[in-house]
Chain A
Amino acid sequence: MNGWALWRKFRTHFDWMLFATVVAIAAIGLLNLYSATRHGPQRDLFGQQIGWMVLGFFVFFATAILDYRVLTRLAWGLLVVGFVAIVVTHFFGIAAKGSRRWIGLGFVRVQPSELIKVAVILALARFVQDRESQELGWDAIALRVGALGAAIVLIAWQPDLGTASLNALICVSVAFFTMKRLWPLLWGFFGLAAAAPLLWMYALHDYQKKRVLTFLDPTSDPSGAGWHSRQSIFAVGSGRWDGKGYMHGTQNQLNFLPEQWTDFPFSVWAEEWGFVGSIVLLGLYFFLVLWCLNVASQARDRFGATIAVGVAALIFWHVVVNIGMVTGLAPVVGVTLPLVSYGGSSVLTMFLGLGLVASVSMRRYAR
């Protein structure tokens, strides 16, 4: 096949709808990031983010072109690599805000706990594939569940409760999607509920407890964690119908929003573009999640379908938790808004996941 034929094949098979949605969200993300960072000392974050986006699209296309099925063999291996990266990070990483989450790779900093989400999704997909193709004994199932559980515990221990919970939510979502009978999931849920008090006492750090408590009773700490949540609600609400105008959000420009470029970009967007803008962005995410599920429904095999469901879950939970957080429906946890929050690891993770979905989508046709 010559180059022209390859391009034509690519053009007909490539999921342009997915790509367009991703581009739209990324464009909004960049636009918003510029407003969120143009004042103050975070001005260079915008340029960096463009760099990450360029890299991200490269990764997206590379992953899309790559036949996802070659990853079947590598799935568990990648999870192990993730394990190692997290352990290494824990001991040699760059500390910030009470935990070591970043590891320096030359001139960039990478957050392995973000990237491991993709490995978890691949491992889940492999697990599902394995259950279909062979009869797994209890010990084999336990080993696999244990490996996934270990990954989550490891992230929580880092400590990065937000990411750990997110991985757990992805696993549960995929399990819900693929398990033949749902009652073990139910038992697991009850078990977790029973263990909650113990987790509260022994597993949670004080600052994490405080965040949860503040969420339950915002008046308990009006100037600390509750302040962030309140200011975020003020920002969102004050956008009213059509917003205060691009780069005219006072909550944003006068720094009443904490870390508006990572955790609270949606507040910036909602303040400056109002309900109309919020609905547009929310609509794009909704469409993206549904599109990924659509890809899952048309995938040619279980491995691909599970990947698409996993990525849909990844995006869905990120969006729901982040927007829930900035609108006061969820406690303030560090969960990013896909393609809108600043952060190389987050951007790469999303593009990797979406690239996998594109790859699954391209290969739904029988050849």
Chain B
Amino acid sequence: MPLLLDRHRPAGGTPELRARLGWFVGAVTIAFLVLVGRLWQLQVIRGDRYFQASTDNFVKERFLSPVRGRILDRNGVVLVDNRPAFNVYVTPRYYSRSAHERLARILGLSPQDAESLWSSIEARRGAERYRAMLVREDVDRDRLALIEQLRSELPGVDVEDVPHRYYPHGTLAAHVLGYMNQITEAELARWKGEGYEPGDSVGRYGVEKQWEHYLRGKKGSERYVVDAKGQRKGEREAEALIAGPRWVPPVPGHNVVLTLDAELQRIAERALRHHPSGGVAVVEVSTGKIRALVSKPAFDPNAMTSGISRVELTQMEADPKKPFLDKTLRQHYYPGSTYKFVTLLAAIEDGLVTPEERVFCRGWHELGGRKFRCTKAHGSVSYYEAMAQSCNVYFWQLAERVGMDRISRVARDFGFGAPTGIGLNGDVAGRVPWKAWYERTGGFRIGYTLNTAIGQGDTEVTVLQLALAYAALANGGRLWVPQLVERVETASGKVVAEYPPTLRRRVQVSSRALAMVQRGLWGAVNDPNGTAFKARVDGLEVAGKTGTAQVRKLQKFEDGGDWNPHRDHAWFAGYAPAHAPEIAVVVLVEHGGHGGRVAAPVAMEIFEGWRNLVHGGVARAAKEGEGTGTEPGAEMGTEASAASRNESASPEGVPESGEDILFEVREDGEVVPANVAPPAEAR
């Protein structure tokens, strides 16, 4: 049985073995056919798929982060910027336990943090193991140098320089600007297809969050070749192996220009310096543009963005003063006497009171055998004295005539009880009660009307709502939608969108009624008997209303002493100049006590600061010559010096902590207190 063609005849041989050889040949043939079949399967049937798999092996795509848009104030002052920073990334596939221990030591991670980081790195599976994970943002130079030095002992560790969000003015307008941090799994899932990836930072609060899609820009990408160890190969390989474009440049985000005035914001924040907790809203009367919006205490956006430690975060979250709460629009408060204009307008409009009518205040009002106490016995008061001196009895008597629902109607007309429409930080509606509401919730009593008439009971408003209502009082009845963003520009300054002021509605009150209210508000500040008379500013006529809102009934706390969570809220709401109003200011000092004594001075300081800023060119020039360097107000810059000069004469003139001291970064990267070189020509 010759197996193959054989020219020679074999001699001798082993014929009895040949039978088995046939089997053997069969087995070999089958085995080789199996291999051929397998090769056919791999190379021909699944060839394209494996070709793709082998391409995926060496083509790595990397997103190129765009530079995030900046946030500017109305004058172009940069409120939020980007600075170069170094982030540390780890690629699990090339990482090791020993590298992790080294890296944890360099980064100064606690054993728990290091351990949880390790388990999250280890949790990566499959292709995810080839993707770099962000481990630490914004590593300082010393650590960076250590990492560079130990490069060879830190496989899988990469350092990349990325723009890092930077808030040059520290806590200034923190609640408006917001902060950023790493995207969560849930957000990644929700925003699938929008180009987000793990490790990205997203806006978390304020404008950073609300305008995220304008600010973030568009990612670019880069495709390059890596070998099996993840080492990047040169351009020559990339050119030869990658089809199509290898580099798509990122598009920088848009700049957002706010209506905010950084200098006025600074003045407003400074005006609150003696008070640990509160809110301020400054609104332009003729447009509804927000010029300053303060919520205190504030968080530090730089710390929040660079990764705050869990301990600090827990501490801040447990703080009863709630630094993360935006007190200008996320929280509502009893407006107290600042709300009295609503009651007055309701009565005038329905013809239930005349300017001449007088009411006698004995110090209390009696209703159904119960005595409602006034602040003192005001004697005979007309609407003017009642507003100026904040007589409760007058308004209680009006309330009995007007009734609950008329007060509610006017309140709603002025925007209370509904969100302002700013859309920022979860703007709340507050509450305007009406009769039916009480009947639904357990029965209406006339006493509720009395409480409502003086801004107590179940009436709650936000600082911003009140500011817009006072702006409407000042401008003849136009209620604005608050405006925070002036326009959006491209990085090169081309205007993308410009936002005109938006009128929400014209308030349904006669100009006669408005004039009466305005006169009352003028009296509260400028009448010697007015509740805010002592706080008035020389040379600027302010109109406004103080408020002292009871937080707890039947409890009276003395002024002074530490921050007391049971003490009354102090309010001042007003506008200036009284006869040609330009801005409306509302100040809330949480648990501050008496409105006239506590909130009014704060508001007046803001009014004065605003006056100097906008109209005080001459006064400012005069003050500059005196040299303000040693005074606590000096770090505010020259614009604020007039205001600070005024207040530093008061016994409480020293800032209680260093939080108002601002820092700036010099060109050489050093951080220095901003008062080293006052920005004389800042604007």
Interface residues, chain A, with chain B CB atoms under 8 Å away: 173, 176-178, 222-223, 231, 233-241, 250-251, 254-256, 270-271, 274-275, 278-279, 282, 285-286, 289-291, 293-294, 296-302, 305, 309, 312, 316, 320, 323-324, 327, 329, 364-366
* B57 adjacent to A364 (CB under 8 Å): no
Bound together, the chains give a CA A291 to CA B8 distance in angstroms of 15
Contact A293/B11 with A241-B43, A275-B43 known, Cβ cut-off 8 Å: no
Whether the pair B47, A238 counts as a contact (CB closer than 8 A) is: yes
Cα separation A211 to B104 with both chains bound (whole Å) = 33
Residue of B10, B21, B39, B233 near A278 (CB, 8 A) is B39
Is B665 among interface residues, defined by CB-CB distance under 8 A?
no
Docked pose: A235 CA to B54 CA in angstroms:
7
Given contacts A234-B53, A237-B46, A237-B50, is CB(A290)–CB(B28) below 8 Å? Answer: yes
B13 / chain A contacts, CB cutoff of 8 Å = 297-300, 305, 364
Residues of B within 8 A of A364 (CB): 8, 10-11, 13
**Are A177 and B54 touching (Cβ within 8 A)?**
no
Closest 3 CB pairs of A and B: A237-B50, A366-B11, A240-B47
Give which listed residue, A176, A240, A255, contacts B48 with CB less than 8 A: A240
List residues of B (1-34) whose CB comes within 8 Å of A's CBs: 1-4, 6, 8, 10-14, 17-18, 20-21, 23-25, 28-29, 31-32, 34
Complex contact A177–B21 (CB within 8 A): yes
B28 and A254: CB pair below 8 A?
A: no
Closest chain B residue, CB of each to CB of A128: B17
Contact of B50 among A176, A238, A286, A365 (CB under 8 A): A238
B36 in the interface (beta carbon within 8 A): yes
Decide: A300 and B48 in contact? CB cutoff 8 A: no
B residues with a Cβ closer than 8 A to A are: 1-4, 6, 8, 10-14, 17-18, 20-21, 23-25, 28-29, 31-32, 34-36, 38-40, 42-44, 46-51, 53-55, 57-58, 93, 125-126, 129, 225-229, 233, 241
A–B Cβ pairs within 8 angstroms, 26 of them: A176-B23, A177-B21, A222-B126, A223-B93, A231-B228, A233-B50, A234-B54, A237-B49, A238-B54, A240-B43, A240-B47, A240-B48, A254-B233, A256-B58, A274-B43, A275-B44, A282-B35, A285-B32, A286-B29, A290-B28, A297-B14, A301-B12, A324-B35, A327-B35, A327-B42, A329-B38
**Are the CB atoms of B225 and A254 closer together than 8 Å?**
yes
From residue A103, how far is it (CB to closest CB) to chain B in Å?
A: 31
* Cross-chain contact A236 with B12 (CB below 8 angstroms): no
Q: Apart from A238-B51, A290-B3, A329-B35, list 5 A-B contacts with CB within 8 A.
A: A239-B47, A251-B54, A251-B57, A256-B58, A329-B38
Given that A238-B50, A320-B31, A364-B13 are contacting pairs, would A279 and B39 also be in contact in the complex, using a CB cutoff of 8 Å?
yes
**In the complex, chain A residues whose CB is within 8 Å of the CB of B2:** 294, 297-298
Shortest Cβ distance from residue B29 to the other chain A in the assembled complex, whole angstroms: 8
Smallest Cβ-Cβ distance to A182: which chain B residue = B20
**A contact patch SS:** helix
Q: Which residues does chain B contribute within 8 Å of A279, judged by CB atoms?
A: 36, 39
Candidates A255, A278, A300, A329; contact of B43 at CB < 8 Å: A278
Pair A294/B24 contact, Cβ less than 8 Å: no
B43 adjacent to A294 (CB under 8 Å): no
Q: Which residues of the other chain, B, contact A256 by a CB distance below 8 angstroms?
A: 54, 57-58, 227-228
Is B14 a contact of A240 with CB atoms below 8 Å?
Answer: no
Expressed in whole angstroms, the minimum distance between the Cβ of A288 and any Cβ of chain B is 11
Contacts of B38 in A (CB 8 A): 324, 327, 329
Tell me the complex Cα distance, A238–B36, Å: 16
Distance A279 CA – B24 CA, assembled complex (angstroms): 21
Q: Which residues of A contact B58 (CB under 8 A)?
A: 250, 254, 256
Whether A282 contacts B36 by the Cβ 8 Å rule is yes
CB-nearest residue of chain B to A258: B228
List, in ascending order, chain B residues with CB within 8 A of A297's CB: 1-3, 10, 13-14, 17-18, 21
Task: Say whether B35 contacts A177, CB under 8 Å.
Answer: no
CB distance from B32 to the nearest CB of A (A): 5
A173 to B31, CA, bound (A): 14
Complex: A256 Cα to B231 Cα, angstroms: 12
Smallest Cβ-Cβ distance to A222: which chain B residue:
B126
Residue in B closest to A305 when the chains form the complex, CB atoms: B14
**Residues from chain B with Cβ under 8 Å of A176 in the complex:** 20, 23-24
